[in-house]
Structure 1
Amino acid sequence: MESLLPRERSEPSPGAVHLPGWLSLKQQQELIDACRKWATGPVPMRAARMPNGSMMSVKTVCLGWHWQPYRYTRTADDAGGGQVAEFPDWLVQLGRDAVAAAYGDPANYAPDAALINFYDDDAAMGMHQDKDEVASAPVVSLSIGDSCIFRFGNTETRNKPWTDLTLESGDLFVFGGPSRFAYHGVTKTYPGSADPALGLKGRLNLTLRETGLS
């Protein structure tokens, strides 16, 4: 999705920072290659089942820790019981670079879990909080592929006030501090909006977290 005017850094709420175009095209392509490998296992990408029995419309693969609603485990107990792939050192460094870009100081940021969500043309994500972590370190979100409308709300309710942002391929969004537990979601994607050079149909979202678990 081409922007008429240059997109600039924004802070929709205290502690929440949007940095458009933070990832280079080369970095995006490298992350796509890595995600394709992670998606095949040792625990393959799957749609998670919610406690009410419904299936999420996004498909997810995890690194470091396996996430299932609403807890982390070392083994994928809801997806065959396998051990999840390790969280690589180079991704830790990318997370630290992201926090430094957002706040000016990585403050010993040490992500140990990643949730990699794939959105096809019809996928969306309801308003929710990322609160299954013990630590309150920032969440780093990287967008690759099709653009989306990202709704970032408040910490008290799924309802307004919220801000709708367009996240495009290569964008970085970091939320911590007063906004760490803000409700957020993806209301829609724009199929076919990604740069054809990426060779990706759909949207990838990598969220890096520091769980605080041992």
Structure 2
Amino acid sequence: MTLADQPTPAPGQPAQRGRRADAERNRAAIIEAAGVVFAERGGTVDVREIARRSGVGMGTLYRHFPTKNDLLATVLEQEFSYWLTDAHRQAAATEDPWQALTGFFEQMLAKQGRNRALVESYAAAGGPTEACARHCYSVMDELLTRCLNAGLVRPDVTTADLVLLNTSLSQTVLTASDSHPGQWRRLLRISLDGLSSHNTEPLPKPATYAGPPTND
């Protein structure tokens, strides 16, 4: 085939590719800026601040994310999923089951302490999305099972107990982050000590986990 025989690009193709590349760059810039702003100020922040930091106009922002909730869910799910995958990998590589469990809690709450919007979402619904909440529950269940099999936690502790414990400590992170930063670490240690198998007094009726809230 000669050069003359080769198909020529349809009119407008280079321009279309350029527009797509610009759109992808704008979307990435919006997500990056939103991640910083949401972490600093929480989910109630004005999206005009996100547009300003990302260097795009409001029209561009709304073309990619029609509502602030769309943007918030995208940013938090992406960030939480990445963190949870990494935290799960670290826990699985930790030989001592108790250290794996306590380390996971410490990492999760420290992560929330650096991200106001994330801790808001966890305190309200167990995670940024239903899928995130279920994934987190699965990881906690695995870590608790390891501790139970090793005889390190009291046998009547359930995964639902751990979910509620983390939710309550998340609220502490949210409300005391300014006045008493790091206070959650003390409360976490007290709470984890209560899970120890050295405590033999029976617990009240266990909590029932019905799953994260849905939009139904």
Normalised by the length of structure 2, the TM-score is 0.27
Q: Which structure's residues are more often helix, by fraction? A: 2
Normalised by the length of structure 1, the TM-score is 0.28
Q: Which structure's residues are more often strand, by fraction? A: 1
